[in-house]
Structure 1
């Protein structure tokens, strides 16, 4: 049973079972990262979920497509592992939002991507994957039996062909365990206030993280997503338009307690693989996030098993690492990707990004 209509953009909008299952394709990596972020920083999970709910709906209706709305993984990953505090994460989100909005309006996205180089962007992805894996191990060692059980669930579902869904299953088990410990939460509206989790701090770490994130965002969230809109949906969506909408999202969401958000080719592909074909998937998922925000309070989050959180981060880290390394071809590109990745872990991602971009430009002459 489906409800469909025509939006002003003449794009079909549908609410159906396939749109519902497609909506889940975008939540596979989003929810684990948000839970991990809330467990390791001062961020307010209900406020973050409100931001995701609102902008899933906004961009689903605006574009008429099941565009992904996901965390900026480099910045959120750095916050999870302790390299950025939430106030620094918020500052980085405002900086990134300003750059993306200006770049999109001025038509600079394609030029910026050519300057940075794809191997450097993928190197940043690889670095964040390694950092997340490191954090996952630290969380898992606190309760090895629970972590082993979580990994066993993921492995069994992966063998059965449900690799992506396995993350949601583990997240569900963790949620049940949290409810058993903390009790059934009472729905509560998040407090409406500016910067509820702390005033943005514009530090050197925030600037370095922003620079590293922009390389990933321009390549994956703007250019690659624009190409995928044409490949999967036959729609001509420009990378500059996507950059503009991501800039608006960050600048509007951060002040109300959100996190830096972007579109993403992986999330769009995930929605398509699970059946989403219209912006209806975004409306369904956005409504789900808003409903979840009512019960995602501190007591429930504090009761979530950290060892299972480690399992979730392992899966996210492996997926991000695979996305970074799979498309790489050639010894030189692989050397840049792995070099940026390991340097990002050993020093920091910002330094690795800048040095990697310099090496790429020298070798590309």
Structure 2
């Protein structure tokens, strides 16, 4: 038997690891690296790891500038105290339910569908719960005094034991095809309950921010209610002719008048949804209905959506505040859009669609380094990539 030199033995032992090295980048390695090269990509392919490229917005004023995952300038949150200034008497509200798709699935099939992020592996249900916990984590870092309500199907086996978090069952139809429709109904039911509670204890005023559960709050949002004292409800907008309004962020002033007008407004959106957009009930129907209600008012000037500036407008008797998505609902690019980078005053990052891995990776990164601006560089440089879920 031929004796293999010890140096070659060590090389052969580690050769399989070298073949798979690109798949094991940790957030620490990403943070410490100074330069990045794009990994090979295929059109339409989803990756099971982050692919970092150039940061959009290089050289543009008031945009985050990055060198690797090190921020060369700082976002507003990074230069202020981590304690919320205006976060008293504010609650976040989201709709979330569990679909137990693992019933009847063989163990080997379930294992093949596991997704690994960092040191954890997730089934479909587990990664949904991981996203929900990450949603809570970001809020509790940036606005630690706020409460969080999770509206859910009473039949859903949802259990989450976190300080400041309340699971709030509301009867309804939570199937995947009707979830967006049910979300509006759940919001209305929640506002009705809050209106009744306020009638019993008028001094207990709390403002509400309704959001999707796949967002990261990266700055204090309480200033909205302080700086703009005359609105009843608020939406985020973008320069998109067909879908200028995103329903993933709705703020409601917690006065009796604010709650009542917001409830009536959402009831009108619900009726338009059911009468005009049921063919888009699984996705987008709520946003199309919302845009129809706003743009149908004769005095409304839709051209104001073309510029990312806050504005206030009376819509059907409600004072509506319109907030630019670029600041209050910024979405990492995925093949298109947001080529002008990330504004330094960004307050909400929305990990839509298959960007969920990026949301988990971002929290892991922040958990390691506690720097919002550096974490946002990771998000910005991970754009234009399709991830695995």
User: TM-score category by the smaller chain?
Assistant: under 0.3
Bigger relative contact order, structure 1 or 2 (CA pairs below 8 A, ≥6 apart): 1
TM-score (ref. length: structure 1): 0.27
Structure whose alpha-carbon radius of gyration is higher: 2
Which structure is higher in strand share? 2
TM-score (ref. length: structure 2): 0.25
Which structure is higher in helix share? 1
